[in-house]
Structure 1
Amino acid sequence: MAISYKKLWELLIDRDMKKKDLQKIAGISSATITKLGKNENVNTEVLEKICRALECDISNIMEIIPDNK
């Protein structure tokens, strides 16, 4: 299974926000933004900060993509 943050990027577009804006309001590092951009694992604390900053649910920013068998 893989994690996708495509929903997060779509949400930022819908809200006319840039990654730098998210970084600032959520209080996360540029390295974390890079990890999210590469669909890498991040700490649940980071996901919570993003959800609080954007006032959304975790399902609005990420999804789990099942492996094709």
Structure 2
Amino acid sequence: MVYSYNKLWKMLIDRKITKTEMRKRAGITTNMLAKMGKGEPVSMDCLAKICSAMNCGIDDIVEFNIEKRAERGNN
């Protein structure tokens, strides 16, 4: 699966909030923020904390796509 947090990054820009400020408001670790920066999966608890702090839904901050097996060469 491919995770994208681009919606969250855009929301932060639109609201003029830094990633560090969002991290502190949400009460998440720097490790979780780093994982998100790399497009890696994070826990549902982490996403819920961010949604609560940002007053939004999960679909407002993360997208995921299942990679097609055909693209990998597996059928």
Q: TM-score, normalised by structure 2?
A: 0.85
Summarize the alignment of residues 45-60 of structure 1 with structure 2, pairs less than 5 Å apart: 45-60=45-60
Distance in 2, matches of 1:64 and 1:43, equals 14
Q: Where in structure 1 are there 5+ consecutive unaligned residues?
A: none
Aligned to 1:12: 12
Distance in 2, matches of 1:24 and 1:9, equals 15
Aligned to 2:64: 64
Shift of 1:3: 1.1
Give % identity. 42
Aligned residues: 69
Distance in 2, matches of 1:65 and 1:11, equals 20
Larger radius of gyration: 2
| Higher RCO by CA contacts (8 Å cutoff, separation 6 or greater) | 1
Q: Where in structure 2 are there 5+ consecutive unaligned residues?
A: none
Q: Secondary structure at the match of 1:39?
A: coil
Distance in 1, matches of 2:59 and 2:33, equals 18
Q: TM-score, normalised by structure 1?
A: 0.92
